[in-house]
Amino acid sequence: MKRYSAFAIAREAMRHHEGWERAWASPEPKRKYDVIIIGAGGHGLATAYYLGKNFGITNVAILEKGWLGGGNTGRNTTIIRSNYLQDPSAAIFEKSRSLYETMSQDLNMNVMFSPRGVMMLAQTEHEVRGWKRTAHANALQGVTTEFISPRRVKELCPIMNIDGPRYPVLGALWQPRGGTARHDAVAWGYARACSAMGMHVIQKCEVTGIRSEGGKVRGVTTSRGDIDCDKLGIVVAGNSGHVANMAGFRLPLESVALQALVSEPIKPCMDVVVMANTVHGYMSQSDKGEMVIGGGTDGYNNYTQRGAFHHIEETVRALVETFPMISRLKMLRQWGGIVDVTGDRSPILSKTPLENCFINAGWGTGGFKAIPGSGWGFAELMARGHSTLCDGFELDRFREGRFVDESVAAGVAH
């Protein structure tokens, strides 16, 4: 793999840019791998990368029924934060946030990580108490956050109206090292690094069945033939329930659409990420000048990957009071992604009833921010059978009542 650098750009400019190689290979699948990962999104690619980097496991195939990063990885709003209430959540999301800070150097790919800061508005007295509680919990967890005043909120985001008649801003939970990154570049960087280690990233290869013998996984049946493996990782987000059924077990989650939109590009006016749970909306400004806007999930189960008018109406109407200037903007485009939501709004990182089959699912509305931390922990779980980052997120917790309740931190805001 040729390294990207300023010198490489200058060199290739002299060659009319004819010397660039493919970022990752497109090999034919082998008959057998040590590990197969189903799903070439951010979480699946990160798992494969850390299997190779941390444990030397490189005989790995990442199978994708569509195109690399074409699911939720390319359909989110790129927010990165770790200000969660529960200890297991804070641990894995803080690990993830810290890995984002060095990801561009680690992968030799500019993922455009921007630690611009994330604020979560308190617009009711209940939220004030809730965010102060979270700030105290974060202090004990080693996560840097603070509860700030309305005046400080206005200083950080001058375009905000903090005196709204219905939902005035009473303060905010502020994480200065949160921010955003370029979602496509994250997937491309991991795929390039995996390919450089000899792993096979195989696109347009749909898994249609999971083969087992004596309660142990043996391989998968795909649209490109049978492929054997010693270990199998299922990392398919909104399709987790469908693939789990192939393996013979059910998951306690449901799939719903999460929609978002961007405005036409405008001059820089907002250099932080703002999330408003009370009105179900959040907003940031992209590097291209678009206002990136999103809200809550659809109120019914579905597998839709497109936008709908009711989302524009509900989310934008709610945000206009806090950000009056957006009422003058035109919408540029809108999209949706399929999110897998558990009852406690926390993920599943676990062994399964099928031996040597592992599941990474249930990230709901917060998957992008967790990509590197999820990959790090899930790779350790697959390689060693245990990971402290995955503790608390086992599948058995739903039967035993050990919930990791993040309904406030993850159920609405992202």
Structure confidence at residue 409 (pLDDT): 56
Q: Which residue has the higher pLDDT, 280 or 275?
A: 275
Q: If you average pLDDT over residues 117-143, what whole number do you get? A: 96
Spatial distance between the Cα atoms of 224 and 201, rounded to a whole number of angstroms: 14
The two structure tokens encoding residue 344: 């406690």
Q: If you average pLDDT over residues 110-123, what whole number do you get? A: 96
| pLDDT at residue 344 tops 50 | yes
| Same domain assignment for residues 186 and 243 | yes
Total number of domains constituting the chain: 2
Provide the pLDDT confidence category of residue 128 given band limits of 50, 70 and 90.
Answer: very high
Candidates 194, 235, 185; CA nearest to 52 is 194
The C-alpha angle with vertex 204 and arms to 244 and 39, in degrees rounded to 5, equals 35
Spatial distance between the Cα atoms of 298 and 363, rounded to a whole number of angstroms: 16
Q: How far is CA 312 from the centre of its chain?
A: 22
CATH number, domain containing residue 167: 3.30.9.10
Domain boundary among 290, 317, 341: 341
Spatial distance between the Cα atoms of 340 and 41, rounded to a whole number of angstroms: 14
| Same domain assignment for residues 188 and 331 | no
Model-level pTM?
0.95
| Same domain assignment for residues 186 and 319 | no
| pLDDT at residue 297 tops 60 | yes
Structure confidence at residue 411 (pLDDT): 41
| pLDDT at residue 86 tops 80 | yes
Whether residue 13 is contained in a domain is answered as: no
| Same domain assignment for residues 170 and 210 | no
Residue 95 identity (one-letter amino acid): K
Q: Which domain holds residue 77?
A: 32-109+182-253+344-410
Domain boundary among 341, 373, 397: 341
Whether residue 21 is contained in a domain is answered as: no
Whether residue 1 is contained in a domain is answered as: no
Structure confidence at residue 299 (pLDDT): 83
CATH number, domain containing residue 395: 3.50.50.60
> Using one digit for the tens of pLDDT, what is the confidence trace for 393-409?
999 999 999 999 887 65
Hey, CA dihedral for 82, 87, 89, 94, is it positive or negative? positive
Q: What is the 3-state secondary structure (H, E, C) of the chain?
A: CCCCCHHHHHHHHHCCCCCCCCCCCCCCCCCEEEEEEECCCHHHHHHHHHHHHHHCCCCEEEECCCCCCCCHHHCCCCEECCCCCCHHHHHHHHHHHHHHHCHHHHHCCCCCCECCCEEEEECCHHHHHHHHHHHHHHHHHCCCCEEECHHHHHHHCCCCCCCCCCCCCCEEEEECCCEECCHHHHHHHHHHHHHHCCCEEECCCCEEEEEEECCEEEEEEECCEEEEEEEEEECCHHHHHHHHHHHCCCCCEEEEEEEEEEECCCCCCCCCEEEECCCCEEEEECCCCCEEEEEEECCCCCCCCCCCHHHHHHHHHHHHHHCHHHHHCCEEEEEEEEEEEECCCCCEEEECCCECEEEEECCHHHCHHHHHHHHHHHHHHHHHCCCHHHCCCCCCHHHHCCCCCCHHHHCCCC
Provide the pLDDT confidence category of residue 413 given band limits of 50, 70 and 90.
Answer: very low
| Same domain assignment for residues 302 and 389 | no
Structure confidence at residue 406 (pLDDT): 87
> Using one digit for the tens of pLDDT, what is the confidence trace for 21-69?
899 999 999 999 999 999 999 999 999 999 999 999 999 999 999 999 9
| Same domain assignment for residues 370 and 401 | yes
